[in-house]
Amino acid sequence: MSSFAFFVTGTDTEVGKTAVSCALLYKAHQQGLTTAASKPVACGTEVTAEGPRNEDAVALHQQCHPSLTLEEINPVLFDAPTSPHIAAAEAGATLSVERMLPSIREILTLRRQFTLVEGAGGWYVPINDHEDLSDVAIALDLPLILVVGIKLGALNHAFLTYEALKRSGLPIAGWVANSVTPPPSEHCLDQYLDILHHRLEAPCLGIVPFMENPQPEAIAQHLDLTPLLDD
């Protein structure tokens, strides 16, 4: 089977990029595909017996089959839970597209059948004074998956992000609507989804309902990989 790789971005921070990415990887593995993930930069750590860890990177690590090391998946980790360019400055480090690409490309050269590279925050999150994470995606030349966090303000964020993705010139492989807050009503949710389907000219990969404790296997039930795996 061919190998497929995508860059996952979101309409904002805390919209469930990692939860959706893990569910996509889980579903791919359930369908018999080998999987890999890259989280090139992560901000925010928890102290564990093994040292500082980022929960998003750990979650992605659990969905890689065959297994990869956490350091392969997440080579750059900062303690501060903030924008990468601020976290890097606080740590006395420098981020750049050129420095970030080699570790991602090492994952891509594994040629796993389904690989996801997950950004941090939204599309235009800065990594230094003149480069954003969007520049990493453009340099990789990967199709994009957009996670739309369904909450108040979602439509504006979705349309602005979608226009920015189109301007990048990269193909938009699909989008996922992820309910990060309980909807005020089913009618309101349906109206949100109707206009998203109308305005976002890319396949909808799934509508994820609000979950108190979202787990990959539960989210995966609401996702469809078919548009991503179409040769």
Catalytically active residues are 39
Q: Which two tokens stand for residue 132?
A: 């954003």
Strand partners, 5: 115
In whole angstroms, give the CA distance from residue 6 to residue 21: 10
